[in-house]
A and B are shown apart, each in its own frame.
Chain A
Amino acid sequence: MAKLTFNGGIHPYDGKELSKDKPMKEILPKGDMVYPLSQHIGAPAAPIVAKGDRVLAGQKIAEAGGFVSAPIYATVSGTVKTIEPRRVVTGDMVNSIIIENDEQYEEVTYTPHNPDEMTKQEIIACIQEAGVVGMGGAGFPTHVKLSPKEPEKIEYIIANCAECEPYLTSDYRRMVEQPQKLVDGMKIMLKLFDNARGILAIEDNKPDCFKTFKELTKDEPKITVKALQTKYPQGSERQLIYASTGRAINSTMLPADAGCIVDNVDTIVAIYHAVVEGKPLMNRIVTVTGDAVNDPRNFLVRIGMNYKDLIEEAGGFKSEPEKIISGGPMMGFALFDLDVPTTKTASALLCMTKDEVSKYEPSACINCGRCLEVCPSRIMPKKLAICAEHQDEEGFVKNHGMECVECGSCSYVCPAKRHLAQPIKSMRKTVLANKKK
């Protein structure tokens, strides 16, 4: 049988061995906690606490700002210090609630539910109330994803267990240590859609997880486990849908148009926590790794904790880092300051002693075609980058620039070391902004 995959893609050094075999470690944060009000796609959350209020861990501190939005919860007990703009990983200043941690970690009491006794609406409301958003990086509110126009047309719910980004092992650790939660989370999602089947889509570099899930789902006729070829960007939504169902969607379509809903491992576990345990989204797994860190590993982090403390937990720096990335090396953000909080979408903190990008000077394109060959969207990065550099919006759109999934494979593979993804990404933003006008 042909391997389940997509056309194009790359095989970068994966660096996962640095952190993959160490069990995750829970951290109780110290010091101030920062909660940006915008940790998701959509309207920012609205604070419902004021300066001086005492809060408990698990207490809601900001209400969703609309349907496409998500509430935010305190993850420690303490006092609200202030509400002010703070720097976040993207470099933007975002209005944030700052809580002075009293280090008591007093929690509210949660009300567990039995999903078998809940209606679909109750389950979705529960997920919405818990502030669950896509934790793979995009931060799209999960309850919105779970409320398509025609729920009966959803045929597949795909758990994105690919974790194709190099260095990242947070999903892997979750699958190794808490596989049952993922399966149970999937079962809850399947309750919402009568015609849906569940797919756990795992890259074949994690054979142990594949085996575990096969075992755990052997009595679940509605759930199948699929091994996908290990290749970046296998975890990109469109590529994942194609690899696991053979259906192809483009930029004008949503996964629901192909009868699919895709959610990342940690998101599905968050759904489990929200519904079964009644716990809001308060923590996530973060991989702290890279050759500049003493003890690379995964941490169960309370959202709002500072990145600096996270590095300290990982044994500090072994040597001076030249570049620090929030997320993976392919799609993460380079940080210029470590004084930022972890958010719902922070998957990793990658500290590298060498910056490969600054090592190379871009030179002339030799038309080798490698960018075309690796592009999962089958567009022409070389041509689009030229359109973008010339601010040729029309040419950019005509050459299907909007189909780019921003995976960065073209820049990775370019022998002339041209920055292809960068101009294409900014041009896409410009086009989208102009469309809204």
Chain B
Amino acid sequence: MGNMLNVSSNPHIRSSESTTKIMLYVIIALLPTTCFGVYNFGLHALLVVLTTVATTVLTELIYELLMKKKVTIGDLSAAVTGLLLALNLPPQTPLWVAVMGGVFAILVVKMLFGGLGQNFMNPALGARCFLLISFTSIMTNFECDAYTGATPLAALKAGESVNVMDMIIGRTAGTIGETSMLAIVLGACILILLGVIDLRVPGSYIVSFVIFIVLFSGKGLDPQYISAQLAGGGLMLGAFFMATDYVTRPITKKGQYVYGIFLGIMTGIFRLFGPSAEGVSYAIIIGNLLVPLIEKFTTPKPFGKGGERA
């Protein structure tokens, strides 16, 4: 009888949370904006989504089989990366470009650095920036059947007027998953209610970004301009789904505020003073690189350390 009992170190109970569940929640939360993107841009957008997801999952599987490592595609993190990458691609992206992005995200950014939890930058954003540099014309061509003009942010930068209502709903040109502020915020609410993310990073990101453009855009407190800046481009998708990526954001609470504020300022600088109308991806990637430093300076003081014995 004695040998039949399991012995382990305490604690002997575990919460029902799991990595797979968290990833599944993220996928569910991304569905509104994914569906809207497909509805908005048509069938090819769906093909891009399916291609990147299949590519990221297969890349991880093949890499792990070749390296004789434990297969971890069941944790769904590769699928999340694939989905996020697709949402950051223009709707008419050729499928071979989507495949290249997927392979780069998983192989170069994630697996070569040690797999889940070890990558120092967001794989989907890393891949997007890689594609943006390598295939600039393809990645900045947002023309498709539904929309022929510039993206609202580009129009805004050129001084043209934009329809803010369309931007909030998402009836504009842009990448597959970034156009609808409404769908993204709906997804974000799901994540917040499920306890997957909190408002520390997205909140400080968005607030500091707004303060920055109010101070430096020259437009002051123009509500039309501010809401266009908020609804346009990848800010919402970036703030709620990319900047909150566990692996590449600071783990300390204070650090998360610092990180969010940094992202807000960087995005503002890129958008207002950079050559391009957009800057969310680069801002987040640069932020990712600063995470170790931020964590180092924001390590919390342990309980009772203040009241040290004299």
Q: Which of B12, B18, B303 is the one whose CB lies under 8 Å from A250?
A: B303
Q: Which of A250, A355, A364, A412 is the one whose CB lies under 8 Å from B72?
A: A364
Give CA–CA (A83, B14) in the complex, Å: 40
User: Across the two chains, which residue of chain B brings its CB closest to A420?
Assistant: B11
| Minimum distance in angstroms from B241 CB to a CB of chain A | 15
CB of B15 within 8 Å of the partner chain: yes
Q: Which of B3, B117, B252, B307 is the one whose CB lies under 8 Å from A365?
A: B117
B residues 208-260 in Cβ contact with A at 8 Å = 246-247, 249, 251-253
| Minimum distance in angstroms from A418 CB to a CB of chain B | 10
Stretch at the interface among A33-41, A74-82, A205-213, A315-323: A315-323
Q: Which of A251, A323, A370, A416 is the one whose CB lies under 8 Å from B12?
A: A323
In the bound complex, do residue B22 and residue A366 qualify as a contact, i.e. CB atoms below 8 Å apart? yes
In the bound complex, do residue B15 and residue A380 qualify as a contact, i.e. CB atoms below 8 Å apart? no
Query: When each residue 58-89 of chain B gets 1 if its CB lies under 8 Å from chain A and 0 otherwise, what string results?
Result: 00000000000000100101000000000000
In the bound complex, do residue B307 and residue A258 qualify as a contact, i.e. CB atoms below 8 Å apart? yes
Given contacts A336-B2, A377-B302, contact A330 B18 (CB under 8 A): no
CB of B145 within 8 Å of the partner chain: no
Give CA–CA (A339, B2) in the complex, Å: 9
Task: Classify chain A's interface size.
Answer: 35 or more
Q: Which of A248, A338, A367 is the one whose CB lies under 8 Å from B304?
A: A248
| Minimum distance in angstroms from B221 CB to a CB of chain A | 35
Given contacts A366-B116, A367-B247, A416-B19, contact A253 B307 (CB under 8 A): yes
B residues 90-127 in Cβ contact with A at 8 Å = 115-118
CB neighbours of B306 from chain A (8 A): 248
CB neighbours of B305 from chain A (8 A): 250, 400, 403
In the bound complex, do residue A356 and residue B302 qualify as a contact, i.e. CB atoms below 8 Å apart? no
Give CA–CA (A7, B307) in the complex, Å: 16
In the bound complex, do residue A333 and residue B10 qualify as a contact, i.e. CB atoms below 8 Å apart? yes
CB of A296 within 8 Å of the partner chain: no
In the bound complex, do residue A366 and residue B10 qualify as a contact, i.e. CB atoms below 8 Å apart? no
| Minimum distance in angstroms from A209 CB to a CB of chain B | 25
In the bound complex, do residue B303 and residue A403 qualify as a contact, i.e. CB atoms below 8 Å apart? yes
CB of A46 within 8 Å of the partner chain: no
Give CA–CA (A335, B3) in the complex, Å: 10
Give CA–CA (A403, B302) in the complex, Å: 7
Given contacts A415-B19, A417-B18, contact A403 B304 (CB under 8 A): yes
Given contacts A366-B117, A379-B302, contact A334 B8 (CB under 8 A): yes
In the bound complex, do residue B117 and residue A415 qualify as a contact, i.e. CB atoms below 8 Å apart? no
Give CA–CA (A427, B252) in the complex, Å: 23
Which of B72, B116, B117, B303 has its CB near the most chain A CB atoms (within 10 A)?
B303
User: Across the two chains, which residue of chain B brings its CB closest to A400?
Assistant: B302
In the bound complex, do residue A378 and residue B303 qualify as a contact, i.e. CB atoms below 8 Å apart? yes
In the bound complex, do residue A253 and residue B309 qualify as a contact, i.e. CB atoms below 8 Å apart? yes
A contact residues vs B (CB 8 Å cutoff): 6-7, 10, 12-13, 166, 238, 242, 247-253, 257-258, 320-325, 329-339, 350, 352, 355-358, 360, 363-370, 372, 376-380, 382, 399-400, 403, 408-409, 411-417, 419, 421-422, 425
With A360-B18, A403-B304 given, can you name 8 additional A-B contacts, CB distance below 8 Å?
Answer: A250-B307, A322-B4, A323-B5, A357-B8, A358-B8, A378-B301, A412-B13, A416-B19
B contact residues vs A (CB 8 Å cutoff): 1-15, 17-19, 21-22, 72, 75, 77, 115-118, 246-247, 249, 251-253, 299-309
